[in-house]
């Protein structure tokens, strides 16, 4: 297909559908965190099981689903097409969402959170890959910016709907219904012309192991993953345990982790928009990553020194902290732009899920450091590790802005 036949509008149907798909994806991903306490209480579990035990099991099983699903959908995206993933993933996690609303015991909850995680794993990578390949190279940053900005706002919507509806089961039904409705829109989306060209050739596609058999390719893949580490440190440690951090710093008033998540993701929405826009204006992915990582370091330092502040100040900092890690769009776009068409979906789908999967490792480090340092000091030490590694990686990563994506990896 000739370049002049490619869609040029950043608001074409593929961008819109990918954006709404990621919105539903994030809605479901964060919904369990928001309704974890009321849902497990209604199933008759004691408080000790809600915060640890079953509650931790459900979070971990969802993460296992994300990791396995990331590999599965990535390979499918390169072998069968980007649209196959967009249809299959949303169908699976929509059905799982609805099933979550019907669970009557912990075993059913565990099963359907795994299925939901498995389905959720494919949405972002396939969407970013498709948008990156159908838009002209000068505009694709705007497209991925829209996908991430609209998508991340799903977390804010999930928190708002949970407060307005009240019934956790209905919240799951709403998420499932939104996903199934979106399937109708996806019928009108066209497959990537780059994938179609590769599909008709004899080139090998979707080999996950090929990412590990070549030293240069593996290092490039590892760099893409490490760029996303600070986001999940901030969300999974600082924001998830914001109530305890606030207690340690004698914040005036009770802090709700759910509200902290909502403020953080509100900042993330604006941050994703800003990072995508600045990337287009500066014509650079790498410089924007360095800028936002530096801002993340500053805001983490501010967050860990909020001794004795009012609750509104604490929540405001959570929002700005969310803004500082709002480089998710740039992070996944770099991954998609760094690899050839025959491995692009595999990389763009596995990288964000493996970055999420680093949270348990970050959590273990955080717990181990607390054996020798205070809670606040441990947070600062882990922050230095996560942000420091990402900064070094961003400094060394390849600049991919305006890169021609019409090429193959030799596998």
Per-residue pLDDT band for 389 (boundaries 50, 70, 90) equals very high
Cα dihedral across residues 366, 370, 374, 375: positive or negative: positive
Instruction: For the chain, list the domains and their CATH numbers.
Output: 3-396 (1.20.1250.20)
pLDDT at residue 8, rounded to an integer: 55
* Residue 101 and residue 39 in contact, taking contact as beta carbons nearer than 8 Å: no
Per-residue pLDDT of 399-411, as tens digits, reads 999 898 888 888 7
Per-residue pLDDT of 290-341, as tens digits, reads 999 999 999 999 999 999 999 999 999 999 999 999 998 888 889 999 999 9
Q: Does residue 1 carry a pLDDT above 70?
A: no
Q: Who has greater pLDDT, 98 or 259?
A: 98
Q: Does residue 51 carry a pLDDT above 70?
A: no
Give the integer Cα–Cα distance in Å for 30 and 34: 6
Q: Does residue 7 carry a pLDDT above 60?
A: no
Q: Does residue 157 carry a pLDDT above 50?
A: yes
Give the integer Cα–Cα distance in Å for 270 and 292: 13
Q: Does residue 99 carry a pLDDT above 70?
A: yes
* Residue 200 and residue 370 in contact, taking contact as beta carbons nearer than 8 Å: no
Per-residue pLDDT of 173-210, as tens digits, reads 999 999 998 888 877 788 888 888 888 887 788 889 99
Give the least confident one: 2-11, 34-43, 287-296: 2-11
252 beta partners? 310
Per-residue pLDDT of 123-148, as tens digits, reads 888 889 999 888 888 888 888 889 98
DSSP secondary structure string, 324-345? HT--HHHHHHHHHHTS-TTTHH
Q: CA nearest 406: which of 211, 199, 198?
A: 198
Give the least confident one: 11-25, 218-232, 270-284, 290-304: 11-25
Q: Does residue 5 carry a pLDDT above 70?
A: no
Checking 295-299 for CB contacts under 8 A at 24+ apart, the result is 295/323, 295/324, 296/230, 296/234, 296/321, 296/324, 296/325, 296/387, 297/383, 297/387, 297/391, 298/324, 299/324
38-42, 50-54, 201-205: which is most confident: 38-42
Burial 53-83 (b: 16+ CB within 10 A, else e): ebbeebbebbbebbbebbbbbbbbbbbbbbb
Query: What pTM did the predictor assign?
Result: 0.86
Structure tokens at 402: 């305006």
- The three-class DSSP label of residue 310 is strand
Per-residue pLDDT band for 392 (boundaries 50, 70, 90) equals very high
Please give the share of the chain, as a percent, with pLDDT higher than 90. 46
How big is the chain by its Cα radius of gyration, in Å? 20
pLDDT at residue 6, rounded to an integer: 47
């Amino acid at each position: 297909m000739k370049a002049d036949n490619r869609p040029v509008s950043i608001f074409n149907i593929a961008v819109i559908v990918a954006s709404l798909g990621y919105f539903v994806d994030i809605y479901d991903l964060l919904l369990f965190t928001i309704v974890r306490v009321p849902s497990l209480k209604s199933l008759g579990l004691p408080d000790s099981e809600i915060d640890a035990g079953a509650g931790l099991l459900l979070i971990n099983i969802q993460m296992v689903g994300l990791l396995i699903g990331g590999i599965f959908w990535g390979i499918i995206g390169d072998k069968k097409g980007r649209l196959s993933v967009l249809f299959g993933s949303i169908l699976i996690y929509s059905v799982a969402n609805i099933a979550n609303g019907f669970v009557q015991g912990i075993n059913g909850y565990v099963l359907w959170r795994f299925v939901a995680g498995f389905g959720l794993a494919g949405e972002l990578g396939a969407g970013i890959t498709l948008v990156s390949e159908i838009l002209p190279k000068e505009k694709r940053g705007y497209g991925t910016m829209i996908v991430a900005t609209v998508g991340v706002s799903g977390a804010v919507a999930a928190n708002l709907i949970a407060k307005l509806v009240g019934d956790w089961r209905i919240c799951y039904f709403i998420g499932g219904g939104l996903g199934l409705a979106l399937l109708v829109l996806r019928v009108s989306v066209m497959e990537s012309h780059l994938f179609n060209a590769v599909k008709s050739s004899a080139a090998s596609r979707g080999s996950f192991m090929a990412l590990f058999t070549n030293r240069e390719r593996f290092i490039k893949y590892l760099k893409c993953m490490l760029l996303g580490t600070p986001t999940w440190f901030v969300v999974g440690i600082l924001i998830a345990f914001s109530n305890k951090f606030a207690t340690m710093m004698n914040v005036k008033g009770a802090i709700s982790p759910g509200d902290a998540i909502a403020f953080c993701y509100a900042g993330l929405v604006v941050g994703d928009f800003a990072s995508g826009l600045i990337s287009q204006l500066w014509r650079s992915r790498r410089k924007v990553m360095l800028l936002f990582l530096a801002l993340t370091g500053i805001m983490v330092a501010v967050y860990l020194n909020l001794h004795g502040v009012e609750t509104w100040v604490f929540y405001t900092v959570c929002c700005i902290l969310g803004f500082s890690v709002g480089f998710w769009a740039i992070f996944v776009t770099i991954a998609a732009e760094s690899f050839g068409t025959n491995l692009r979906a595999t990389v763009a789908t596995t990288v964000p899920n493996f970055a999420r999967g680093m949270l348990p490792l970050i959590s273990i480090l955080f717990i181990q450091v607390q054996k020798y340092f205070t809670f606040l000091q441990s947070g600062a030490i882990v922050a230095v590790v996560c942000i420091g590694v990402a900064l070094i990686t961003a400094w060394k990563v390849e600049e991919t802005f305006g890169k021609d994506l019409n090429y193959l990896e030799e596998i």
